[in-house]
Amino acid sequence: MQVKLSIIIPTLNEANQIKQCLSRLQTLRQLGHEVIIVDGGSTDDTVSLVSHLCDQVCLSQPSRSIQMNHGVKVATGECFVFLHADTVLPDNILDYFSSINNIKSKWGRFDISLSGRNCLFRIIESCMNSRSSFTGIVTGDQVMFVGDELFTRVGGYPEIALMEDIAISSLLIKFSKPIRIREKVISSSRRWEKNGIVKTIMKMWLLRLLYFFDYDTNKLAKLYE
């Protein structure tokens, strides 16, 4: 039996790429799956561009955790797929979800490939995939998916300003290890290229270290920006 997916995309000023993102999801919509945009107060044309390319457009406070929880509230699928606007799903995504038994109580993620050509990106993506397999911690750009029953059991995303993906992973792993789908999603390397690869790596590790020591996530969000 085919499981209905609810693909939830939090947005904030994504006009430059949201149409391209949504155009790739139209086949899934035609097959009965739904795409939900939750916008956090875009000041560009994001909202006006998406209305005919998704099933619902919701407005929310600007925070990924709040936006994704809001999307779940209106979703009708049995499995929630949390997708960033700059990440591309594999074409054969349904083959993988149809093979997961009792998906309503499961969770997992995809392996990741970064879009940039620099050889350092191959090392980074390999480390990200290995780290997730070892720790069970899933980051947002790896496209986390959670069955509706399990999502309810953990109470959704902790509504914090940053590191919400790590926070919910820590809750979910108490029930089961994440399913690893080795087919790769392609995530944009724009942040790395704009800010510098090594600098971005060091910044992300610093933020995670501070989070580990219970640093205020509102302050972490400001550092991230």
Q: What is the pLDDT of residue 91?
A: 87
DSSP state of 29: H
Closest C-alpha among 125, 83, 128, 81 to residue 100: 81
Q: What angle do CA 73, 164, 3 make, to 5 degrees?
A: 45
Interatomic CA distance for residues 117 and 105, integer angstroms:
37
Q: What is the pLDDT of residue 218?
A: 92
Amino acid 184 reads: K
Task: Give domain limits for the chain.
Answer: 5-224
- What is the radius of gyration, based on Cα positions, of the chain? 17
Interatomic CA distance for residues 82 and 14, integer angstroms:
16
Q: What is the pLDDT of residue 113?
A: 96
Q: 39 has which bridge partners?
A: 11, 59
The strand ranges marked E within 101-178 are 107-114, 145-147
User: Is-contact 36 100, C-beta < 8 A?
Assistant: no
User: 172 is written with which tokens?
Assistant: 């979910």
Closest C-alpha among 86, 88, 85 to residue 39: 85
Per-residue pLDDT in tens (0 to 9) along the chain, 225 residues: 578 999 999 999 999 999 999 999 999 999 999 999 999 999 999 999 998 999 999 999 999 999 999 999 999 999 999 999 999 999 889 999 988 999 999 999 999 999 999 999 999 999 999 999 999 999 999 999 999 999 999 999 999 999 999 999 999 999 999 999 999 999 999 888 888 999 998 998 999 999 989 999 999 888 887
Q: What is the pLDDT of residue 1?
A: 52
CA-CA distances (angstroms) from residue 143 to 201, 208, 219?
Answer: 20, 19, 25
Instruction: Determine the topology of domain 5-224 in CATH.
Output: Spore Coat Polysaccharide Biosynthesis Protein SpsA; Chain A (3.90.550)
User: Cα(first)–Cα(last) distance of the chain, in Å?
Assistant: 43
